[in-house]
Amino acid sequence: MSGPRQMISLGDRLARGMLIALTVMSIVLLVAPSLIVIAISFEPRGYIAFPPSGFSLRWYWALLERQQLLDSILVSLRISVMVMVVCLVLGIPAAFAGTRGRFPAKTAFNAFLLAPQMMPGMVIGIASLFFGAYISFRASDLMLVLSLSVFCLPFVVRIVMARLAGLDPLLDEASANLGAGKFETFFRVTLPQLAPAAFAGAAFTFIEAFDNVTVSLFTSDVRARPLPVELYYLVQFESSPLIAAISSLEIGLSLVVMLVIARAVGLERFGR
Amino acid sequence: MNQLIIDGVTKQFGALKVLQSCDLTVERGSVVTLLGPSGCGKTTLLRSIAGFVTPDAGRIRVKGQDISRLPPNRRDVGYVFQNYALFPHLTCRDNIAYGLVVRRVPKAEIARRVSQALDLIALAAFADRYPKQLSGGQQQRVAIARALVLEPQVLLLDEPFNALDAQLRLSMQVELRKLIDRVGITSIFVTHDQQEAMALSDRVAIMRGGRIEQIGSPLEIYDRPRSCFVADFIGRANLMPTQVRAGRTEGPQAIAAALPDGPATLVARPENIDLTPGSGPGWPGKVTFLTALGPVIEYEVDCGFSVPVRAALPRHAGVETFEPGALVTARIRDEAAAVVLPGEPNHA
Ligand SMILES: Nc1ncnc2c1ncn2[C@@H]1O[C@H](COP(=O)(O)OP(=O)(O)OP(=O)(O)O)[C@@H](O)[C@H]1O
Ligand SMILES: [Mg+2]
């Protein structure tokens, strides 16, 4: 059992201190602004004020009359779903190869897979734009989907790899022994066990693709802007609580997705 | 008829020769145990039969057909893994059905065979549980049923009782043997527990350093070991150095030996050694240690060999008991039951 109080190691104390600091920081920097934004969105007047002078859903209704905004939400939803599908279809086999495969330069392959995560989104956005210009490929929905997929792929790959590394390789042998070929084993044994991880990776990818500005700014179609880009332009000309209303909806969406993940896999299983 | 023939199977991992021309023949419906010290290649041999390891040389034939080149999923060989390797995302029922589903057996037949298998292992009530909701013994039964339901030509079991506590182990051994008899399936069973081997099998194959050193019925192996290693590995044995001269051993008891003249080893089980007080015909010695085991008392007697002679004397009235320090004479009770092996004693 743990000793008396003065026996607590320095490391433990530091850890506790860090934990408190981190909690305070995330409340101050993450939760508080979100709550303020949500509060502001209920402002009945035409300008931003905190605390709000009253409670009204006026700006939420106003949202429904802004055709351009509604269109951009649809664009974002469509793009995010496509990015999610691309990342799953490419990410799961890539993670599989990176974990189970035996081939030369596997380490380099894995580093390459995860590299986009180390790169600022803006770099990926600009690079895509320039490269696209070079091969005469204009900023478009397809371009946006591709560039966002590059950016998001590591989410899926990392989570799925972590799960794969934890799977018992004997299960594959058991499956083969019972008569299943390689593909059948993958679909019947490996994939079902990857499902929670793939699901979580997909959800993260969806959220990221839905509110990514850095990449989208450079690669989205000018005539069909996704929501984050639309908002980016909007805030430059308009500072009504409308922006707060949209942001609140986005916060709500993220929360819902997180809750769904938490129910499906347990949040604590991430990051590993 | 021989169901399984292993012929000169050899496997090397890097510089390590794990299987060195292994030969083994298993008759239809019989249970053979592979018994040997850790690292002698038991698992590797089983994995070669199942196709998870590709031998460098040699042939494996099942019912006359060479399966050495077939991939694991095309061999008709069941495997019960040491940690069971049940699919965690499938229920007990679906685990057992797995092989049938993969073989595209009609649904109705799957249902029938799976419920039969569940009855066989007495787990029908647990059919819809997931592996982690089952005890170790139950999981093991599911693993066995999962293999048996496919009615494979050969069933391989790699230390299936390792994870079980002593009590359960014993009852599972009996259960497994009954099950195998009921289905009549040719089985190879790996263990390094010699009592388990004796209890479960028709024949025991003693493995050592990648070779099969001796194979025979449990009693044959016990009574007629062909090497010091086997004698020492199965049960306990006294290995006493002696010399053979003209077909008989030298020393206090001349025992017939069909061996050329030269150094030899006299093998006698502790229960075949009798102790009498004082001096007499036999090996004089001094009791150094005793262990009361219940039905017998085991004495260690220093007779001047490099290891003490062990004698197990029954504890009934009329059998004398000795204290440490007592001077005694050790004798082989039944000379016909003693074995003489060529060469000097060689303790495993
Ligand atoms: N894939 C492999 N690569 C390298 N060496 C291996 C491999 N598989 C087994 N070995 C080595 O081969 C030897 C025999 O292993 P094996 O697992 O067959 O022994 P075993 O008789 O089953 O032992 P145990 O009773 O401990 O299970 C060991 O020294 C082991 O380290
Ligand atoms: Mg083994």
Domain range for A158: 62-271
Q: Does some domain include residue B228?
A: no
Q: Does some domain include residue A51?
A: no
Q: How confident is the model at residue A118 (pLDDT cuts 50, 70, 90)?
A: confident
Q: How many CB pairs under 8 A join A and B?
A: 58
Domain boundary among the residues B162, B197, B223 is at B223
B306 and B337 fall within a common domain: yes
Q: How far is B204 from chain A (nearest CA, A)?
A: 25
Going by CA atoms, what residue is nearest to atom 7 of ligand 1? B13
B247 and B195 fall within a common domain: no
Of the ligands numbered here, which is closest to the C-alpha atom of B193?
A: 1
Q: Does some domain include residue A49?
A: no
Local structure of residue A221 (DSSP, 8 states) = -
Going by CA atoms, what residue is nearest to atom 3 of ligand 1? B13
- The response to whether residue B210 sits with its C-beta less than 6 Å from ligand 1 reads no
Given a cut of 70, whether residue A265 has pLDDT beyond it is no
Using a CB-CB distance cutoff of 8 angstroms, which residues of chain B are in contact with residue A177? 50, 72-73, 77-79, 147
Inter-CA distances, B36 with A253, B41, B66, B173, B327, Å = 62, 8, 27, 18, 37
Q: Do B103 and A179 touch (CB under 8 A)?
A: yes
- The answer to whether residues B301 and B286 touch, using CB atoms and an 8 Å cutoff, is yes
Residue A196 burial (CB count, 10 A): 17
Tell me, yes or no, if the pTM score tops 0.80: no
Of B100 and B250, the one with more pLDDT? B100
Pocket test for ligand 1, best of B11, B18, B206 (most atoms within 8 A of CB): B18
Share of chain A above pLDDT 90, in %: 27
Using a CB-CB distance cutoff of 8 angstroms, which residues of chain A are in contact with residue B114? none
Q: How confident is the model at residue A43 (pLDDT cuts 50, 70, 90)?
A: confident
**B132 is written with which tokens?**
């982690």
Backbone angles phi, psi at B197, to 5 degrees: -60, -45
Q: Average pLDDT of B74-100?
A: 93
Domain boundary among the residues B197, B223, B249 is at B223
Using a CB-CB distance cutoff of 8 angstroms, which residues of chain B are in contact with residue A170? 81, 83, 85
Q: Does some domain include residue B91?
A: yes
B334 and B192 fall within a common domain: no
Q: Does some domain include residue B26?
A: yes
Residue B32: which residues within 8 A CB-CB, separation 6 or more? B24, B26, B187, B188, B189, B201, B202, B203, B204, B205, B215
> Which is the closest atom of ligand 1 to the Cα of B190?
22
pLDDT value of position B1: 62
Q: How far is A160 from chain B (nearest CA, A)?
A: 17
- The response to whether residue B52 sits with its C-beta less than 6 Å from ligand 1 reads no
B246 and B214 fall within a common domain: no
B123 and B258 fall within a common domain: no
Going by CA atoms, what residue is nearest to atom 24 of ligand 1? B38
- The domain that contains B12 carries what CATH number? 3.40.50.300
Q: How confident is the model at residue A266 (pLDDT cuts 50, 70, 90)?
A: low
Q: Lowest mean pLDDT: which of A26-40, A43-57, B20-34, B211-225?
A: A43-57
Domain range for B288: 236-342
Q: How far is B100 from chain A (nearest CA, A)?
A: 8
CA triple B311-B314-B317, angle to 5 deg:
135
* CA distance linking residue A219 with residue A196, whole number of Å: 31
Q: Lowest mean pLDDT: which of A163-172, A253-262, B45-54, B71-80?
A: A253-262
Q: Average pLDDT of A46-50?
A: 79
Q: Lowest mean pLDDT: which of A7-16, B83-92, B113-122?
A: A7-16
pLDDT in tens, A212-225: 888 898 888 888 88
Ligand 2 centre to CA of B187 (Å) is 16
B208 and B286 fall within a common domain: no
Residue A33: which residues within 8 A CB-CB, separation 6 or more? none
Using a CB-CB distance cutoff of 8 angstroms, which residues of chain A are in contact with residue B78? 177
Q: Does some domain include residue B229?
A: no
Beta strand pairing status for B31-35 and B186-191?
Answer: parallel
- The domain that contains B241 carries what CATH number? 2.40.50.140
> Which is the closest atom of ligand 1 to the Cα of B37?
25
Ligand 2 centre to CA of B63 (Å) is 26
Q: Average pLDDT of A181-200?
A: 90
- The response to whether residue B41 sits with its C-beta less than 6 Å from ligand 1 reads yes
B219 and B133 fall within a common domain: yes
- The domain that contains A185 carries what CATH number? 1.10.3720.10
Q: Do A170 and B73 touch (CB under 8 A)?
A: no
Local structure of residue A266 (DSSP, 8 states) = -
Q: Does some domain include residue A259?
A: yes
> Which is the closest atom of ligand 1 to the Cα of B14?
4
B14 and B108 fall within a common domain: yes
Q: Does some domain include residue A50?
A: no
Ligand 1 centre to CA of B290 (Å) is 38
Upstream peptide bond of B88 is cis (omega within 30 degrees of 0): no
Given a cut of 90, whether residue A172 has pLDDT beyond it is yes
B219 and B274 fall within a common domain: no
- The answer to whether residues B307 and B258 touch, using CB atoms and an 8 Å cutoff, is no
Given a cut of 90, whether residue A91 has pLDDT beyond it is yes
DSSP letter string, B143-191? HHHHHHTT--SEEEEESTTTTS-HHHHHHHHHHHHHHHHHHT-EEEEEE
pLDDT in tens, B21-54: 999 999 988 999 999 999 999 999 999 999 999 9
B176 and B312 fall within a common domain: no
- The response to whether residue B38 sits with its C-beta less than 6 Å from ligand 1 reads yes
Using a CB-CB distance cutoff of 8 angstroms, which residues of chain B are in contact with residue A172? none
Q: Does some domain include residue B193?
A: yes
The count of structural domains within chain B is 2
B217 and B125 fall within a common domain: yes
- The response to whether residue B48 sits with its C-beta less than 6 Å from ligand 1 reads no
B49 and B72 fall within a common domain: yes
Query: What ipTM was predicted for this assembly?
Result: 0.82
pLDDT value of position A3: 46
The count of structural domains within chain A is 1
